[in-house]
Structure 1
Amino acid sequence: MSPVTVRDLPNALHDDGAFVRRLAGRRPAAFLDYDGVLTPIVDRPEDAVMSDSMRDTVRALATRCPVCVVSGRDRAVVQRLMGLDDLVVAGSHGFDIWSPRIGTIPDNPAAGFEGLIASVTGRVLAEVGTIPGVKVEPKRAAVAVHYRLATDSGREQVAALVRQLLAEQPDRLKVTPGKMVYELQPKIDWNKGRAVCFLMDVLGLDSPDVVPLYLGDDITDEDAFRALRGRGIGILVGRPDDPEVAGRATDAEFVLASTGEVEQFLTRLGR
């Protein structure tokens, strides 16, 4: 099936029971992005703290079905912002996976790239880290450069450095774009979609009676939407009038307009 835009998607809450029919009595397993899904996008990444009501909703859902949080942020950061430490969390786009039952899941596709990431992080901090409005976020297997609050000149400096780093390491480094952020990662075949499929296998969720649901809002979540085509359901979180979402082709099958609708949806799913 060809990708569509957010305007073409039925709403998972409001469109005449279309989502409920897709479940067809099977058990859901919820895979949830963090920023833009469980908490609104904010100007400063460190301010994206989960609300008490969303925390209660997610905690209640986890008593009814498997819940996994899949984020570009480092796992420990996600756990701190959520105020929850008893959920499966795949941090750093799945490079760092932890389960309360298993502990750290040892399969680390970024092994051997530690020196590269440390070097790139140092360059980014030194060359753009002091630009007003730029926030550098070192991660276990990547470095993210947020530029939402930067001027046009500052954004161009960041973009120029990213282009330079990719030109210097074309076989070892890649960039994953997001909402006002560049994330520099090892150039390996790993993403949120691969992480979700890996988790389904590890957690015993790859069976016909389970429907994996993935809720995401960003470009990086499209890998998970594609991975679940034909076996699960992708739900894009975003408004049709949001310029960061509206014109983007998506492989999701349903939409929720806001984190408020996400909370309503998860509450209903947990009943």
Structure 2
Amino acid sequence: MRASSPTRAENQDQALTCIVYNFVQLTELYYAGSHGMDIRGPTKNRSHNKKVYKILVEKTKFVQGAMVESNKFCLSVHFRCVDEKNWAALAEKVRSVLNEYPKLTITQGRKVLEIRPSIKWDKGKALEFVLESLGYNNSNNVFPIYIGDDRTDEDAFKVLSSRNQGIGILVSQIPKETNASYTLQDPSEVEQFLHRLVEWRRKSSHSHKLYVVDNFKKLTLP
């Protein structure tokens, strides 16, 4: 999913929603990032714990390929480019830092260790918050579509499934157990899906129907 994302190398101290907003530049949209702890609609910016960020950078600087990213509300330690034999050592370094900060917790995503506040909040709760805030909780006129490629997106998929409202779409080339209703293989298929969705909406909201075919949970559009 990061293949189509804006470059973030020079935006280490900027909220993730601001980065995405600057890339998309659509003021009418709501943007949610950092596992739902950063929701722009608009919202106020908050300062992240720069001290922890600096310590993590210092602790991991000798691990080749490791990168620490600040998304304002969360910290991410990426190990996609780290030699697999060094993964365990890197994780231990990160955990050693968090031992001094009991109010922070660590979770693992796709080749990334994510550090965030120890609160009962995730992408599923963020999705519920957005729907409720917009008055779409029990609306029949809105069809939420949540697209994600990470294990942390499962919380949002589960919310839509339990509410029987909208659909979740997992982006993965590998078949896996998921709470999502459908899957797409990669960001290019996501882009194609969104283009066709817009095209369908432009043609007509009444006389044309959008068909999806469930083929081993593979989402296809005519």
> Normalising to structure 1: TM-score of the pair?
0.62
Which residue in 1 is equivalent to 2:71? 139
Secondary structure of the equivalent of 2:55?
helix
The whole-number CA distance in structure 1 between the counterparts of 2:196 and 2:154 is 24
Which residue in 2 is equivalent to 1:263? 191
Is the aligned partner of 1:35 residue 2:5?
no
Which residue in 1 is equivalent to 2:18? 76
Which residue in 2 is equivalent to 1:238? 172
Is the aligned partner of 1:94 residue 2:36?
yes
Q: Is the 8 A contact 2:75 2:115 kept in 1?
A: yes
Q: 2:53 is aligned with what amino acid?
A: T
Q: 1:238 is aligned with what amino acid?
A: S
Q: Is the 8 A contact 2:106 2:113 kept in 1?
A: yes
The whole-number CA distance in structure 1 between the counterparts of 2:9 and 2:98 is 27
* 5+ long unaligned stretches in structure 1: 1-33, 48-72, 241-245
The whole-number CA distance in structure 2 between the counterparts of 1:88 and 1:146 is 26
Which residue in 2 is equivalent to 1:219? 151
> Normalising to structure 2: TM-score of the pair?
0.74
Secondary structure of the equivalent of 1:148?
coil
Q: Is the 8 A contact 2:98 2:105 kept in 1?
A: yes
Is the aligned partner of 1:124 residue 2:56?
yes
Secondary structure of the equivalent of 2:72?
coil
* 5+ long unaligned stretches in structure 2: 201-222
> Cα distance, 1:203 vs. partner?
1.8
Is the aligned partner of 1:228 residue 2:160?
yes
> Cα distance, 1:75 vs. partner?
1.3
Tell me how large the CA RMSD over aligned residues is: 2.8
The whole-number CA distance in structure 2 between the counterparts of 1:119 and 1:45 is 20
The whole-number CA distance in structure 1 between the counterparts of 2:62 and 2:69 is 13
- Percent identity reads 36
> Cα distance, 1:205 vs. partner?
2.1
Which residue in 2 is equivalent to 1:25? none
Cα deviation 1:131-180 (Å, max 9, x = unaligned): 3211110221121101111223542332112332444445x221121111
Deviation >4 Å, runs of 4+: 44-47, 166-170
The whole-number CA distance in structure 1 between the counterparts of 2:26 and 2:151 is 27
Q: 1:161 is aligned with what amino acid?
A: K
Which residue in 1 is equivalent to 2:179? 251
Where relative contact order (Cα < 8 A, 6+ residues apart) is larger, the structure is 1
> Cα distance, 1:198 vs. partner?
0.6
